[in-house]
Chain A
C-alpha cells in the first residue's frame, strides 16, 4: 500500500519517548492532534476534568505545555475537544465541550474566548469539525440530538433529531472527506446513521452570511430523517465511528472494529451493508468510551486497551491482526497501565499518544525497524537495571520537557 510512504508495509516500529500525568488525575477523555492547520500539526490538545491543555510535540520526544485552560465552573467536565480554524485570520481555534452541554471556542493564538454556544439540553459527547470548511462543527449530545454549528458566525445551523434521529445518547461523529458532506453518527441506541447535507447547502450558505446581534436567532433547520441508518452492525453501544473513504470503521464494546460498506445508494436500503474486515482487539470488551483514532491520511489506526496498551492497525491491509503493539514502559513490571480512553495520531502517523484513565499521557514515536531492534535491546538492559517509576520513560524527553516548563 503506497498510501503513506512513511509507513512501511511490514511491521511497524514505535518507541516510547515521553509520558506525563496531568495534575487533576481525572480521566483524559479526549486527545486530538491538529489535523486542520498544517503548520500546527505538532499541537496536541487534551481534556480531562475541567481542564484543557495544549502540548507541543517536538521532535525527539519533547512534550512542552504551551497553554492550559480551565473552566470557571468546577462541575464542568470536558468530554471532548477538537481543532478548528478561524476562517478570517487563520488563527487556530480550540473547541471544548463536555458535561454542561456548552461548546466553548477558544482562540489559542490570542487567548480569547471567542464564543460559548448553547443549545444542547445535556452533555456533549463528541465534536467533529468539517475538514473542508472548518467553520462548521457538529456536536453529538446526550440529549439524543446532533447539532451543526457555524462557529464563525456563531449560530446553530442544523439540528439532527426527530423520528429518524437517535433515540439515545449520541456518542460519536465523523465527517466524510470529499465534496459530498456526509456526517456519520452513532450512539447508545446501537444505531449508526449517515446524514446528508445535500438538501441543506442553502442553509449552510445562509449561516455564513448571517450576523449575530439580531433579536431573532438563526432559523435553524431541522433534519429528521437520515440518509442511511442501521442498528444491525453492532448490538451494543457504538462508541466510535470514522469514515475510511466510502467505508465505515465502527467500534462497539465487543473487542472488534468493523470495516464495512454502508449501502447508501438508495433511500430504501434493503441491506445494511457488507463487512469488509474485522480488526481484532484485545481487552476492549464491556468498556465503553474507548475510542480509536486515525492519522490525517487514514493509514494508521490506533486504539487503546483496558490494560493501557495501544494497538496499531493498517485499515487498508487485509490483516485483522495489529501491525504493532505499544506498551507503556512504566507498565513493564506489572504489565498493566490505566486503560486508554482515547488515542491521538499525528498528521502522518509519526506520533501516537494514548490518553489514560488516570490523567496520564504516553507518547510513542515511529522509528525504523532496525533502530527498533537496537532500542529493544537497550530497553531490556534498562529494565534490568532500573525500577518503576524511574524507568517509566526515557530520561531524555522527560528532562527536556522539565527544563522547558521549569
Chain B
C-alpha cells in the first residue's frame, strides 16, 4: 500500500506527458487486467473459505436435524386432504371429537381463557393478544385452474381479530436529543401500498452511495484499483475520469470525484504509515499536544449538560471569565499551610532531604529566598514585598488566610529553602522570587478551595502572570532596548535586576555550566527532562500548586525530589527569561482565554435594571418562533452587539460576559408569596420567571434553590422546577376515542398542572422540511417547531406524549419554556383532569398549511377523520406561537 502510494506521489509527470486518449486507453487496459487478476485471486481465496464453511455448515445442519428427530418422531406421515370437494371436509369434521379432546389437553394449563371467543378483542393486554384456539368452521368454495380447467376446492375460513391501529417502532427518550441521522434517503408508502423514495437531491444521494461503496464490502477491490492506477498514471483528473468510465458497468461504480478524494486519502494514509515506520512514536514527542489536549478537553466539556462531549450543544463553550481576575487572584491567594503539616510521601521525600539539606548549606539559607515548594511563603525581599504591598493596597487583607508582613518569614519554614543554591548568586536568586510568590500563592489554592475553585484560580493566576511576563519580560530582555527597559525599570526594581540576570544567564549559557549546576542536574535525575514531562509538570502545578509529591505521582517517572529540583530550575529559568516553553504555554493560555484578563477589581453590587432582552421582546410579535439561545462571548459588559440581546434572549450563566455588569442578565425571581393554599410559590405570572417563559434557575432565584434539595421551608416550595425535576404525570398510550392511538392520563391533575415534556429528536429546519414531506404523505407528523434553530421530531424517538391527539377544545396546551438555556416543550393542563382521561392539545398548525380535515374540525365537525389532504410540512407550534389549529391522525396510510 505504502509503496504504491509513494509511487503515486512521484508519478505526476507521466500523466502530464500522455494525452487524454492515451490515458484513457491505458487505464482501461490496466483496469481490465486488474479485474482479471483480482477475480482470480479472490476466487482462490474464496474457494478455501467456501470449503471449510460448507463442511461446518453441513455439520450444523445434521446436528439440527438430529435434534428435531425426537420432535418429528410422533408426527403424522401425511396431512388429511380436506380441500377436495365432498370428501375432505367430512374427513376433517369426523375426527372433530378427537381434535376437541386434543384441544382441551392443550388448553388445560391455560384456565381462564375462553375457547370460543371470536378474536379476543376484549383482552386487557394490548401489546400481545393471543387469540385462543379455534376449530375452523365455515367452508367456502374457491377454484384453482389446472391446465386451463377450473378445479373447485373447499376452503376453511380463518377468523381473524380486528387489527390494532398501525404504528411504527419508536424509542423512548426521557430528554431531547440531537438526531444523529440527517440527509438520509427517505421513503413513503403510496396509495397502492408501494414504497416510493421521496425525490431528493440526487447528487446528495450519489455522494452517500460513493462513500458507502468506497468503504463497504468492495473496499479492498476499489483500494487496489485506485492505488494501482494512480501508481502508473498519476493523479490527474483525466485518470479518474477514465477509471470511472471503466467501472461504470460495475456494481461498485464510484464517481470520479470520489475516486480522486479516496486516492488522496490513500496517499496520505500511506505517507503517515511510512512516517510512523521511520520514527517510533514516543510519548515525549507529543509534548506539544498536551496543551491542545487540555484545550480540547475543556472545550468538550458542556457546561449546560454537565457532561463531556454532549451532542446537544456540541461542546465548544467559551470558558467564562468569572469576575475580575485580580480580585479572584487576591481572594484565592491564600498562604499555604506550613510545611510541617504536609505529610511526606515516603522516606525519600524531598521534604526529608530538605531537612537534611539545612545543615549542609546554611549559607544559602540566609541569603536565598527561594520559596520552598509545598510550603510556599512570602520570603520575598523586603523591597519587593513593599512594592506589592503598595500596588495591591489593602485588598490583601481581605484574603482569608493569615496576612504576612513584609519580610516576615513563616515560622517553621526557616530551614526549608531553595535547592541548588550554589548555582545562584544573590542577585540571581532574588529574581525568581520576585515573581514567584504571587504565582505560587495563586497557583496553589488551599485544600478547601482545591476541590472547588482551585483550578479556576490557577487559571486566573496563570493569565495574570502570563500577561505580566508578556508585558514586562520582552521589554526587559533585549539588553539594549533603552526606553522601554528603563521605563519598566522605573516602575519596579525587578525588571532592572532581571535584565542583569538575563544578561548573565545568556552569557553563561546553560545553568549547568554554573558552579553547582552538575549537582543540581544530578538531583533532577540522570535522564534529561523531556518536554512532555515539563509540560505535565506545568499542568500539575496548575492543578495542585507546587506540590512535588503529587506531581511526581502524575509524572510517574520521577521522584518527588527530582520534581522539586526541576521545579526550582524551571522557575529560575523563567525568571531568568529563558523559560521560553512556559512563556509559550502562557501565551497560548492567554490566547485561548482571549479577553477579560485584566478587569479592574471593583467589587460591584448587583445592579437593578431592566434587561435588554425585555425591550427586544416587547418589540417582537409573539407568534414568531423564538431564536435559539447561544451563549455570548462578550467581554465584561454586554453591549448593543451582544447576540443574546439581539435575539431577545437573556444572557444566561453560560455566557462569557461579566455577570455583575451585564445588563442583559435575567435577575431571577424573589417570589415571597405564591399560592398559599397549595403551599407553593412561583405558581402564576407574578413570578417573573414564569412570566418570561422560563423555569426558575437555582443560581438566580435564591429562595427557589432549596426546592431542588427538598430543604425548602413549608409553603415555599417553588412550583417552577417542573421540567427540571420531571414532575410530570404518568401518561399511558392507548386506543384513542377519536382516532388511532392516544395518550391517557393515569393520575388526576389540577388546572395548570404540568403533564409532561414533549420529547424527541432535535433536527434542523432543513431536515424537518425533508422529513416533513414524507410524514405529510403518510399523514402522520410528529414535528414540533421548537425555535428558530430546532424542530422536535418525535417520530423515532420520543415519549408517550407523542400520541396525544389534537383538539380545538383541548384539555391541555403546549408551552415552550426556557430551562437552563434550552427551549423545552411542556404540556400543561387547561382544566382539572380526571384519571384516565385522554389528553388533547391544540397543535396550533399554521392556518395557511393546515390540512382540510383540520380546518373542517375547526368548524366544529368533530375530531379528525382519516381522509387527509397533503399539506406542506405540518408542524406543531407551542402555545405562545400562532394559533391555528389542526389535528393529528395517528393513522398511517397503509
Which A residues are closer than 8 A to B by beta carbons? 1, 3, 19-24, 36-40, 43, 51, 53-54, 56, 64-73, 76, 85, 87-92, 96, 99-102, 104, 106, 108-119, 121-123, 131-132, 134, 142-145, 154-156, 161-163, 165, 167-169, 177-179, 188, 211-213, 215-218, 220, 224, 230-233, 235, 244-247, 254, 256, 258-261, 271-278, 296-298, 316, 318, 389-390, 392-393, 395, 398-399, 401-402, 404-406
Residues of B within 8 A of A277 (CB): 46, 50
**17 new A-B contacts at CB < 8 Å, known A3-B54, A70-B158:** A22-B144, A40-B78, A54-B79, A64-B81, A66-B80, A69-B136, A70-B140, A76-B160, A100-B160, A104-B160, A112-B99, A116-B130, A165-B169, A177-B64, A245-B57, A246-B53, A316-B51
| B136-159 vs A, Cβ < 8 Å mask (1 yes, 0 no) | 101010111111111111111111
Query: Quick check: which of B65-73, B361-369, B628-636 contacts chain A, the rest being far away?
Result: B65-73
A392 adjacent to B894 (CB under 8 Å) = no
Query: Quick check: which of B103-111, B349-357, B578-586 contacts chain A, the rest being far away?
Result: B103-111
Closest A residue to B65 by beta carbon equals: A38
Complex Cα spacing A40 to B78, Å: 6
A69 adjacent to B171 (CB under 8 Å) = no
B46 adjacent to A71 (CB under 8 Å) = no
* 10 nearest CB pairs, A to B: A232-B216, A245-B57, A121-B167, A90-B75, A116-B131, A398-B147, A178-B60, A23-B143, A154-B130, A90-B74
Closest CB in chain B relative to A287 CB, distance in Å: 11
Closest A residue to B84 by beta carbon equals: A405
B56 adjacent to A109 (CB under 8 Å) = no
Closest A residue to B69 by beta carbon equals: A38
Closest CB in chain B relative to A389 CB, distance in Å: 5
Residues of A within 8 A of B169 (CB): 121, 143-145, 161-162, 165
Complex Cα spacing A76 to B136, Å: 17
B61 adjacent to A67 (CB under 8 Å) = no
Closest CB in chain B relative to A84 CB, distance in Å: 10
A220 adjacent to B128 (CB under 8 Å) = yes
* Interface hits, B3-58 → A, CB 8 Å: 42-43, 45-47, 49-51, 53-54, 56-58
B187 adjacent to A274 (CB under 8 Å) = no
Residues of B within 8 A of A114 (CB): 133
Task: Identify which of B47, B76, B148, B156 contacts A111 (C-beta below 8 A).
Answer: B156
Task: Identify which of A23, A178, A399 contacts B142 (C-beta below 8 A).
Answer: A23
The total of chain B residues at the interface (CB under 8 A) is 111
Complex Cα spacing A389 to B61, Å: 41
A393 adjacent to B147 (CB under 8 Å) = yes
Complex Cα spacing A145 to B136, Å: 30
Residues of B within 8 A of A179 (CB): 60, 63
Complex Cα spacing A38 to B156, Å: 26
* Interface hits, B116-139 → A, CB 8 Å: 120, 124-125, 127-136, 138
Closest B residue to A166 by beta carbon equals: B169
B157 adjacent to A92 (CB under 8 Å) = no
| B81-120 vs A, Cβ < 8 Å mask (1 yes, 0 no) | 1111100100010010011001100100111110000001
Closest CB in chain A relative to B802 CB, distance in Å: 14
A215 adjacent to B53 (CB under 8 Å) = no
Complex Cα spacing A401 to B143, Å: 14
A72 adjacent to B159 (CB under 8 Å) = yes
| Cβ of B526 under 8 Å from chain A | no
A390 adjacent to B217 (CB under 8 Å) = no
Residues of B within 8 A of A245 (CB): 53-54, 56-57, 60
Closest CB in chain A relative to B761 CB, distance in Å: 11
Residues of B within 8 A of A399 (CB): 147
Closest CB in chain B relative to A299 CB, distance in Å: 9
Complex Cα spacing A298 to B131, Å: 36
Residues of A within 8 A of B57 (CB): 177, 244-246, 298
Complex Cα spacing A101 to B47, Å: 42
A72 adjacent to B158 (CB under 8 Å) = yes
Task: Identify which of B76, B83, B125, B217 contacts A216 (C-beta below 8 A).
Answer: B125
Output the residue of A53, A224, A273 with the most chain B CB within 10 A.
A53
Task: Identify which of B120, B184, B217 contacts A230 (C-beta below 8 A).
Answer: B217
Residues of B within 8 A of A89 (CB): 74-75, 102
| Cβ of B166 under 8 Å from chain A | yes
B61 adjacent to A298 (CB under 8 Å) = yes
B135 adjacent to A112 (CB under 8 Å) = yes
B109 adjacent to A211 (CB under 8 Å) = yes
Closest B residue to A170 by beta carbon equals: B169
Closest CB in chain B relative to A22 CB, distance in Å: 5
A117 adjacent to B61 (CB under 8 Å) = no
Known: A144-B168, A245-B56, A276-B49. A402 touches B146 (CB 8 A): yes
Complex Cα spacing A85 to B69, Å: 11
A261 adjacent to B49 (CB under 8 Å) = yes
Complex Cα spacing A401 to B147, Å: 10
> 8 pairs across A/B with beta carbons < 8 Å?
A38-B68, A40-B77, A67-B156, A106-B136, A216-B125, A261-B49, A275-B221, A278-B251
